[in-house]
Amino acid sequence: MLQQIERIGLEMEKQKASNKSLTAPSISADSEYRCHPALRGGQPPLPNKFTASQMESLTAICNTFVPSLHMSASAAPNGTLSTGFGQKEIRKKSSCDEIESFYRLSASDLEVPAQAAGMLCAWTKPMQFFLVSLVLWLLATRLGTFILCGRASMRRKAPYYLERFAMLPCAQREKVLQSWSKSVFWRLQMLFKLLKCYILFAFYSKVDKNGHNPSWAAIGYTLPHLRADHDRQHKFSTHLQHQNVHHFDQLHNKIINANTATEEMLQMLLHSAGFSVSEDVSRLWKHWINGKSFVDQEKLQGIVIRCDVVVVGSGCGGSVIAALLAQEGYKVVIVEKGDNYNRQDLPLLEGPSMGAMYEQSGALTTEDGGVILLAASTLGGGSEINWSASFRTPPHVLQEWSQKYQLKQFESTEYQMAMDKVCQRLGVQNKVQHESFQNAVLRKGCENLGYDCHNIPRNTSSDHYCGWCCFGCPSGQKQSTTETWLHDAVAANAVILTGCKAEAALLSPNKGPSGKARQAKGVVARAGRSSKMIFIESRATVVACGSLFTPPLLKKSGLKNANIGRNLHLHPVQLVWGYFPEELEPKGKSYEGGIMTAVSRIAADWDKSGYGALLETPSVHPGVFAVATPWCSGLDFKERMRRFPRIAHLISLTRDCGGGTVDASSDGKLIINYTISEKDKESSTQGAVHGLKLLLAAGAEMIGTANIDGEIFIPKDQSDCITDQIDHYLKRVRGGMFKKLSTPLMSAHQMGSCRMGVDAKTSAVDPGGETWEANGLFVGDASVFPSAVGVNPMITVQSVALCIGQSVLRFLQKDI
């Protein structure tokens, strides 16, 4: 027994040590990152299901998107680049060797085919994967190549015969990909889009174990650890030395990694945190509706944790509710499927960070591939990787929710006080000491055109100059839930289980007076990918795993309400861009500085319904830039990438009135269907047009959209802003913006899929966030929004969650 206790004690010390590395991140070009293993470069590719012949086709496609090019074809020996767009020649600081190496690099040189194959196998939808597999198989044959490529598959010199795709010259393969991108068959368009996104993201974000990508020097991308102006960046070591170490330890000592902890260690840690634990799982088995389809009862193993409240999800909703209830003296267990990445262990590498901290590595899409969905999969949820924007719920939204949906609390003093409390806890302020390049462009264009422009409130200090917060905030200045509400929760009476995926809510027949058919009894969860089951028995259950995952969880739990999974809103975003040569103002690089500090409402219809589009600036790093940039040819794309640091992107963020649906297949994969409405198309386009005008007014030398046609508008002089030339260009933009899959859309805000309302016929939860079918089962995230909020939703999510937390509190007090 003594040896067993000593062994468990050693395991506990290892767990604590892995949670609190207090050394600031260190990096050099010749040494490995000191960071969390999952965030380090040099990760092996995901499993590959393709055959050798299919891989031959995929490799040829990869090397068509990213071909090896000779220096003479694109750049002069002195480092001056010819753009091919009739633009003035631009001189880069990159050395001639770096430029030549960049152009000679092919996708195969970085082992991209294997990485792209793993991503395609792991993340594509079943229909998408079938299409990719079929096309790769066909391209491995002469006849199949002829069917998909037409005359381009014919050998151009005698003797004439058909060739397999991989044997075609690169120029012919380029023509094939170009034809797919604009094909009348939308599935070929979708195929092109999938392959382009995966391959180019992999090439420009892939790093070795030293955090190095050989293309970065030529495109002007430098990690913050290596920048010459290091003192104006994160100031890692200096800032961390002034952190309250006790504050840091208190959170991480209450985090238990259920994926790595042994059952004995898990019980020991929970007991030490004051929670009752047993192995009597059979008692709760009967409350697991559909449980037999997941695991045989006779083979069931696991533990039972008893608490007052279990909260599924640690993001903006779940963390607030957990903190409120824990501070009221209730024992709270927070279940989080993602892992915990300490801020000291964040290397800020785009590829590994997105792979570890985003759903499906940031490759999640709607069924037709029309919208790329960015959603968090880490402790702290979206607050950990968002861009700090902290808007209060707009007045027109509160009025709509109160009057149209009869939810009177949204025009109450209680809700205003909730927003006040949230903003105070997050330290929200709207000042900025030094504006980033992109935000300075937005502000300058607004001033020159007379557009409105406002400072964005942020949950950071005014001097926070960081363009990498989308990969976590190493300085801790951004007040995410791991810096605020989760700390409050564990400081009171809560414990966090990471690497623990909720499988279903436990429901029993309800014998109480509520009139509801079922009573919530807790949650059953799985530790990582193991068969180890964790039953969490509770008096109240809160599901707050986001608008994409809350509906499938409720359905798996046995709920039948028709509104669960419907009314999904996405705030669809499209990008426009402008290029500013280095000699032009404003100075800086696109990936530096505060991500969002300025916003224009010129296209938002702000004083009326709010169903329009905001103009903001996005976070852009090489991989995401490559995904959003049109591909017309291998040479054209590399030249576009050379402009990367001085391209200012603006986003048109639409408050969508149309909606979609979300569900899950039998194997747990999300099924997301969303078609943008005609009204939302018009709003999005109007925002994009204003954005293009704004970029020209700010002095951009060339402008464009993310449309697949890759058209670039180059004004001869600034007077062109009011000439027929710009009008004709903008008319083409309006006409071609929403042809099938022609313009990539993105979404970082998912809302409304379990809408709140006053009756079960039109909503999934009641005004207090409780489900209509189960007593004591609450939903506490953005899925309860009655409609899209139209601004970055963090403050609204937390304020709504605070009000729902009060409902849970009243339920617990009544249930004594």
Enumerate the active-site residues: 749
User: How does strand 332-335 pair with strand 309-312?
Assistant: parallel
Amino acid occupying residue 338 = G
Q: And the tokens for 238?
A: 């200096």
Q: And the tokens for 52?
A: 């050798």
Q: Which parts of 282-399 are beta strand (E)?
A: 302-306, 309-312, 332-335, 364-365, 371-373
Q: How far apart are CA 153 and CA 234, in angstroms?
A: 52
Q: Which parts of 48-149 are beta strand (E)?
A: 80-81, 90-91
Could you tell me the CA-to-CA distances from 687 to 605, 669, 676, 694, 730 in Å, in that order? 11, 33, 15, 10, 12
Report which of 815, 808, 816 is spatially closest to residue 324, judged by C-alpha positions: 808
Helix H or strand E encompassing 414: helix 413-426
Q: And the tokens for 371?
A: 């919208």
Q: How far apart are CA 342 and CA 24, in angstroms?
A: 11
State the CB neighbour count (10 A cutoff) for residue 587: 12
Q: And the tokens for 156?
A: 């151009």
Helix H or strand E encompassing 100: helix 96-104
Q: Which parts of 85-244 are beta strand (E)?
A: 90-91
Asked whether 289 and 504 are in contact (CB, 8 A), the reply is yes
Q: How far apart are CA 137 and CA 553, in angstroms?
A: 36
Helix (H, G, I), strand (E, B) or coil at 738: coil
Return all residues near 714 (Cβ < 8 A) that are at least 6 apart: 85, 86, 87, 701, 702
Helix (H, G, I), strand (E, B) or coil at 631: coil
Return all residues near 612 (Cβ < 8 A) that are at least 6 apart: 601, 603, 604, 605, 606, 654, 655, 683, 686, 687
Q: Could you tell me the end-to-end alpha-carbon distance of the chain, in angstroms, rounded to an integer?
A: 39
Report which of 442, 437, 371 is spatially closest to residue 706, judged by C-alpha positions: 371
Omega before residue 159 within 30° of 0, cis:
yes
Q: How far apart are CA 384 and CA 471, in angstroms?
A: 8
Number of continuous H segments (helices) and E segments (strands) in the chain? 26, 26
Q: How far apart are CA 592 and CA 229, in angstroms?
A: 11
